[in-house]
Structure 1
Amino acid sequence: MSYEPKLAAALSGATLRQLSHWRRASGKQGALLVPEISDSRPILYSFRDVVALRACVKLRKETSLQKIRRAVDTLREDLGEREHLSAYALVAGPDTIYLAEPEQAVDLIRGGNVVIHQLVDVLAPFYKDGRYIPDLLKPRDNVAVDSAVRGGEPVIEGTRIPAAEVAALVRDGVPPDRVSDFYPGVSAAAARDAVDFSDYVDSYVDGSRQVVA
């Protein structure tokens, strides 16, 4: 499963403008996150990319984009870490960003080690600019995202049925309580959640007009 920018933005909390900006290098600093599947049209993100993007969005709430880029450059160039960005726990602290490891953390801006007692769960829901960004693995009560199921495509929980297909049926005029005629086992509540999530993804494009930094 690959995620087009609109869905990647909706699941991560980033705006479309931020995704575009973060794909590019800035001065001497490298790109923050280049899409793993395709970095040219059509732009396609992976599930790991979405996890990393959520981490960047949460960091951006606490610190500057310049510091985030610097921290990632330190991670790559100075520490030689080459795993996907989603593999690392990055935590914002006073005037710095830490790479959290068991028992301690590396200061990626000032150098040195410290002890961190609490880590941010990048999968959990949060607010950004007053907008609710849902839980990545369960964006709605009856909608689930699991990288092992259809590659991470949002599906009706407990099934492999794409939530987008259920939403399309309802939008085409099928009442939520009749969706089970087409997809046995999909309740009316699940169908309504699929539509609600689809509406959220579609409306999220409006957020792309917000400021990038």
Structure 2
Amino acid sequence: MSFPIELTAALTGASVNQLRRWSRAGLVTPEIRPSRPMLYSFRDLVALRSVCYLRSEVSLQKVKTAFSNLSEHDLTEHPAAYRFATDGTTVVVWNEDRFMDLVKNPGQFELVTINDVYRSFTNSSDRVVSDFEHPRENLSVAPDRIGGWPTIRGTRVPFDTIADLVADGDVTADEVPDFYPTVSPSAVADAVSFQEEVEGLAG
């Protein structure tokens, strides 16, 4: 599956201009097609989600330093293969059973907290598990809202209600607000994406 730059921006939280700049800088270059029209792989989306999350807590320079330091520690797989976290001052990566600081003191290991567990991680079957509280940017999980069932962020609308609404093509993402005024087209894309992941796990 390939993702055009606009859909990538919707799923990752980066702007189209940021994606282009980060590609030119070599931070995350589209795996499928690096030139216009740029096409991203799903692995790229996972890596970009990590960049966007980290960038919300630390400077872009620290994120770039962290990514460039991966190879210094023989972590040479696609960045999507790794789980990152931050305490607001540095960036760490999950390596086997510990976190390794990639910015302040590369090589230093830190303990895992419950917050780290709630963030995206790779399970024992080597499957990437979505962030628990936000399986997609526009989806949210809260135990006091519909029993923890994933909903469109900021609403009580179940994600699968929206995914089912557009499934047969009779209703487009742009028309969904006619039925659910609080659901944006980008939220529809996230609901469909998550539904596809869920259905994929059923087989």
> How far did 1:99 drift?
0.9
| Residue number in structure 1 paired with 2:195 | none
**Which whole-Å CA distance do the structure 1 matches of 2:151 and 2:170 have between them?**
15
> How far did 1:48 drift?
1.5
| Residue number in structure 2 paired with 1:134 | 138
Q: Is contact 1:6–1:201 with CA below 8 Å preserved after alignment?
A: no
Runs of 4+ with deviation above 6 angstroms: none
Secondary structure of the residue that 2:92 maps to in structure 1?
Answer: strand
Q: Greater relative contact order (Cα 8 A, min sep 6): structure 1 or 2?
A: 1
Give the letter aligned to residue 18 of structure 1.
Q
Q: Normalising by the residue count of structure 1, what TM-score does the alignment of the two structures yield?
A: 0.61
Q: Normalising by the residue count of structure 2, what TM-score does the alignment of the two structures yield?
A: 0.64
| Residue number in structure 1 paired with 2:86 | 92
Deviations 1:15-42 (A, max 9, x none): 11111111122xxxxx110111111121
Question: Alpha carbons of 1:139 and 1:43: their partners in 2 closer, same or farther (altered >3 Å)?
Answer: farther
Alignment of 1:34-73 (within 5 A): 34-73=29-68
> How far did 1:201 drift?
7.6
Q: How many equivalent pairs are there?
A: 161
CA RMSD of aligned residues (A): 3.7
| Residue number in structure 2 paired with 1:83 | 77
Does residue 198 (structure 1) correspond to residue 196 (structure 2)? The answer is no
Q: Is contact 2:166–2:172 with CA below 8 Å preserved after alignment?
A: no
| Residue number in structure 2 paired with 1:23 | 23
Give the letter aligned to residue 139 of structure 2.
D
Please identify the structure whose Cα radius of gyration is greater: 1
Structure 2 spans left out of the alignment, 5+ residues? 121-129, 141-149, 153-157, 190-203
